[in-house]
């Protein structure tokens, strides 16, 4: 890890740069695959599954038999753990429901807002080196609470042509409509255009690597919405000498093991803590099964010493982390002052992995600085707000002249006429 002491604010943007490729580096590949899937549908999907996942499938649709076999192959202990996580996630997201908002803006002019579910959604669940069955819970549970009618799940097959048992169990538990063995760019393209096997959807959810992130962004050009840009995982910890160095190191490593392109950062006012954390990282990383992956991510990571909590907070808001852990005596300063973060974890006993799995909050979050403008996935991500209005005769008599005047000022005579005709009838009755 790179230790940086008291960097000048003018250097922050360079210091905090993510270790990711630019869109230009990979957009050409994404565009080519999209064009192929648009033209050739499932034939193209099958070709890219063979090319990228190393397996040729007779069918990429998961059968009921496969789901039943997967359920039988998940241990009872893990089923119980997933079920408890399910309940916590369901409880937190169900609490996000809001009532109809209704107001009379003036007598006889009634306006209200109601929420409706997005009917068709696609869930992308990464497989690869770590099949993320927890992401199934994070996406499918709020989708069901929202009332989405069709929930299509795509996840890449392994070399045996299977999706991880845990993913299939979680998908069944959450009531997913259809499960397809397809990953990467081709999965996003299939959900965007629709094929014989993959239904076209209205909105795509889920994290992925940089190729998936760019593919989701490209999908928006074809009228499909996405949850947010969610690429390689990242974590920033702010800690002072009140923090436990071993805890901090474990949190940094928990994100580093996601992938070689993950980034973890420690910001601290204590040089002694930074030294202790560095020693702990070196010790703990040797015991990780995914040591080689974590080492590559750690090489891109930073340990930053700053002179005060106020400087630290400004730096953190500039970085806009996906995950933000606070282990500081000055906890309230950070809790009240953070403006840009996907999800915040407070105190020595709140590891980031709690939010990844089972505390109840959602772990599908904006990365790469997008938390400056995007929220993480929540219940509203699966809903649309529709406005309604109803105007009485007296309401139009009062409001109509205002509308006429404004329409005339904009030179939109037909707009004015739509009101004038009605007012004339009301006045003549």
pLDDT at 23: 63
Show pLDDT as tens, one digit a residue, over the chain (429 residues).
889 999 999 999 999 988 765 567 789 999 999 999 999 999 999 999 999 999 999 999 999 999 999 999 999 999 999 999 999 999 999 999 999 999 999 999 999 999 999 999 999 998 866 788 999 999 999 999 999 999 999 999 999 999 999 999 999 999 999 999 999 999 999 999 999 999 999 999 998 888 998 999 999 999 999 998 777 889 999 999 999 999 999 999 999 998 888 999 999 999 999 999 999 999 999 999 999 999 999 998 899 999 999 999 999 999 999 999 999 999 999 999 999 999 999 999 999 999 999 999 999 999 989 999 999 999 999 999 999 999 999 999 999 999 999 999 999 999 999 999 999 999 998
CA Rg value for the chain? 25
280 assigned to a ligand binding site? no
The per-residue pLDDT for 260 is 86
415 is an annotated ligand-binding site residue: yes
Q: Which fold is adopted by the domain 23-230? A: Rossmann fold (3.40.50)
Q: What is the model's pTM?
A: 0.93
Which residue is associated with the tokens 């030294």? 275
The answer to whether the annotation marks 209 as part of a ligand binding site is yes
Distance CA 397, CA 404 (A): 11
**Is 124 annotated for ligand binding?**
yes
Confidence at residue 205, expressed as pLDDT on a 0 to 100 scale? 97
Query: Number of helices (H) and strands (E), helices first, in the chain?
Result: 16, 14
Q: Does the annotation place 275 within a ligand binding site?
A: no
Query: Is residue 234 part of an annotated ligand binding site?
Result: no
Distances (CA, A) of 294 to 15, 63, 76, 312, 420: 20, 36, 30, 25, 70
Contact criterion met (CB below 8 Å) for 230 and 364: yes
Q: List Cβ neighbours of 85 (8 Å cut-off, separation of 6 or more).
A: 134, 137, 357, 358
Residue 323 is labelled as binding a ligand: yes
Q: What is the location of CATH 3.40.50.1980 in the chain?
A: 2-20+232-360, 23-230
The reply, when asked if residue 113 is annotated as ligand binding, is no
Q: Which CATH superfamily is domain 2-20+232-360 in?
A: Nitrogenase molybdenum iron protein domain (3.40.50.1980)
Using alpha carbons only, what angle is made at residue 391 by residues 390 and 394, rounded to the nearest 5 degrees?
Answer: 160
Name the residues annotated as catalytic.
322-323
To which H or E segment does residue 234 belong? strand 234-239
Rounded (5°) CA angle 331-298-284: 80
- CA dihedral for 89, 91, 92, 97, sign (positive or negative): positive
DSSP 235: E
Joined together, the tokens standing for residue 417 give: 């006429």
The pLDDT of residue 71 is 96
> What does DSSP say about strands 343-346 and 323-327: parallel, antiparallel, or unpaired?
parallel
């Amino acid at each position: 890890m790179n230790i940086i002491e008291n960097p000048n604010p003018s250097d922050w943007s360079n210091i905090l740069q993510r270790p990711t490729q630019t869109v230009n580096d990979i957009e050409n590949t994404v565009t080519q695959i999209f064009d192929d899937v648009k033209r050739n549908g499932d034939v193209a999907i099958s070709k890219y599954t063979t090319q990228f996942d190393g397996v040729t499938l007779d069918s990429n649709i998961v059968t009921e038999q496969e789901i039943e076999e997967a359920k039988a192959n998940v241990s009872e202990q893990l089923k119980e753990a997933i079920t408890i996580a399910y309940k916590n996630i369901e409880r937190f997201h169900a609490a996000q429901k809001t009532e109809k908002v209704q107001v009379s803006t003036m007598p006889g002019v009634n306006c209200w807002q109601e929420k409706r579910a997005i009917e068709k959604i696609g869930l992308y669940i990464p497989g690869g080196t770590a099949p993320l069955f927890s992401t199934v819970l994070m996406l499918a549970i709020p989708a069901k609470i929202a009332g989405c009618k069709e929930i299509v799940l795509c996840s890449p097959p392994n070399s045996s042509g299977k999706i991880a048992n845990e993913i299939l169990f979680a998908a069944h538990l959450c009531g997913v409509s259809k499960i397809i063995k397809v990953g990467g760019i081709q999965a996003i393209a299939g959900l965007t255009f629709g094929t014989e096997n993959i239904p076209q959807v209205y909105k795509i959810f889920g994290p992925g690597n940089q190729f998936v992130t760019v593919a989701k962004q490209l999908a928006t050009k074809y009228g499909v919405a996405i949850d947010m840009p969610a690429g390689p995982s990242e974590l920033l910890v702010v800690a002072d000498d009140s923090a436990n160095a071993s805890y901090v190191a474990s949190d940094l490593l928990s994100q580093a093991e996601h992938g070689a392109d993950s980034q973890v950062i420690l910001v601290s006012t204590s040089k002694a803590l930074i030294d202790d954390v560095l020693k702990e990282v070196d010790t703990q990383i040797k015991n990780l099964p995914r040591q080689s992956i974590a080492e590559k991510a750690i090489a891109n990571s930073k340990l930053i010493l700053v002179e005060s909590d106020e400087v630290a907070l400004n730096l953190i808001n500039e970085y806009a982390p996906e995950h933000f852990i606070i282990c500081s005596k000055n906890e309230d300063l950070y809790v009240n002052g953070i403006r840009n973060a996907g999800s915040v974890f407070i105190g020595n006993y709140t590891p980031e992995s709690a939010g990844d799995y089972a505390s109840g909050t959602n772990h599908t979050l904006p990365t790469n600085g997008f938390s400056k403008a995007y929220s993480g996935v929540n219940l509203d991500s699966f809903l649309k707000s529709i406005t309604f209005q109803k105007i009485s005769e007296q309401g139009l008599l009062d409001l109509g002249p205002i509308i006429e005047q404004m329409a005339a000022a904009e030179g939109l005579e037909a707009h004015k006429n739509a009101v004038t005709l009605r007012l004339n009838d009301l006045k003549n009755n």
